[in-house]
Structure 1
Amino acid sequence: AAQAVAPYVTRRTDPEEAFVAGLMHDIGAYILAAAVPEAYLEILEGAPANRLLLEQEKFGMDHTVAGQALLKFWKLPDSLSEACRYHHDMSVACTTEHGLTTLTAIADILACVNRGDFDTYTSENDLTRLLNHSGLSTSDMIRALDQMNDKVDEMSDFMKITGAGSTGMAMPRGPERTCVVITTDEQRRDLVQALLTHQGHALFPMEDFFQREPGCHDVDTALVDPETLTRDQLDRLAKYLDDLGLHRAVLVEEGTTVPASMQGWPTLGFLFSGRQLAGVRAMTRN
């Protein structure tokens, strides 16, 4: 993941160094798991957002501290040990001039999104700050995600040839759907549409959807951003989408209240996995 992101950030980082950082950034987790496997398995079964805190409570350190100590013991460059130590610490990763730390933090979130293993709101907020700090655009982020999948496919093919089995890393892709994203916020629209495209879904323009342009009947999933619409617009939109019988979900940020007319609809963050979208479709099957 880090190697895929490296070419796109403004603070240029050697892709090979990024590759090593990607390999090493969670090495502390392997140390803890090897030392106390049963205790660490309990941590892995918990929520991803609580992992660092649980590690600290159980072992007196989290995996980033353990990893940094090992890389320093091996006398590897400080840039690598710092990326290992601070890739979960947004107070550092979003402000540091060391591009490898920021890049590793971005890559870690993208890899988790690719697996569907992430805390929605924490990841959204952190990723937004990291993108702003690094200069990585939404379109470049999606290119990096696509390259990650290509690399994983290559690795999976290699593992099959060698008899080692699957990597289990690629994002599960469901059948292609045609989706419309209903928002007037361009940045949010670009992010959601980019994720949908990455997951293999087709897009239909919002304006064409409401004007019932040819192809609009192919749309079967609508994702609505309520923050950009008035209450009257939301009420009319909810009835309209219900009448069409579409799969639908509300796009929400942390702390956002779901509009009364859309109560009972599934919710998604602005950063979501293929599994989460599939869950929306299962909940709104007509």
Structure 2
Amino acid sequence: MLPVLLHIFIFSYIPMYGVVIAFQDYYPGKPFLAFDGSVHWVGFKHFVDFFNGPYFARLMRNTFILSFYFFAFGFWVPILFALLMNELKNGVFKKFVQTASYLPHFISNVVVAGMLLSFINMDGVVNAIIELFGGTPISFTTEPGYFPAIYTITSIWKSFGWSSILYLSAMSAIDPSLYEAAKMDGANRFKQMLHVTLPSIRPTIFILLIFAVGSLLSTNSEFILLIYNPALYETADVIGTYLYRDGLLGGNFSFGTAVGLLIAVINFTLLYIANTLSRKYADYALW
């Protein structure tokens, strides 16, 4: 474990001292910490500016909605897929389906974004199908109302196969004698899945559920940056994309760090609450 621990310490913990610039007016070239008066401390100014900013409500709304949609519709898909895969008895076909479901995880966000935009353009496959059934082509790339569904469906397609690996691993550890006992009691395959498989993978489900709640204000900003445009800001502009534009491209490093720190604190708070509730009511927890 030493190489992994060193990697985490060097790249995840040592850089954390940089969060101090969230409380400064920092400019590139200035020190993070100094005692000669060159560091201009501003306290919680950047946090207040974000709360009072004109985009605060839109950013929080869009971030929460996109994350909630992915959580509500995407969390159970890997579980259902793993349950169905566990019922397959044809080994060759099972391996083929598993491999095919894993592949989207390894496709670059850039490639997926290019594929998606080509599909939903006015002359793309989706509009061709709509026209085939007598409908009118839709400008998906300029209509904000369609973005949440497009983002959610694409994100689920890209991640569900890879996310099912943990559930399949948990299922492989189930004692076969439990299924034999269920058969002797007259349980069919559906009831075996309901009363043996699901209870056996319950700890894994709860642990991943806690992690999912802890990332409720996190979206795949990289992917959104590749597929959105100013016409979609109403529903597509999230905290991550705003920080990229204003914090990185705009050079407002202190402001961007402050907002990122705020979201990290909120996510940790949600994680702590979810972990506490899970430990209290389900007896499963991270700590």
Q: What is the TM-score normalised by the length of structure 2? A: 0.27
- Work out which structure has the larger RCO, using CA pairs closer than 8 Å and 6 or more positions apart in sequence: 2
Please tell me whether Structure 1 or Structure 2 has the larger radius of gyration of its CA atoms: 2
TM-score by length of 1: 0.27
Q: Which protein has the bigger strand share?
A: 1
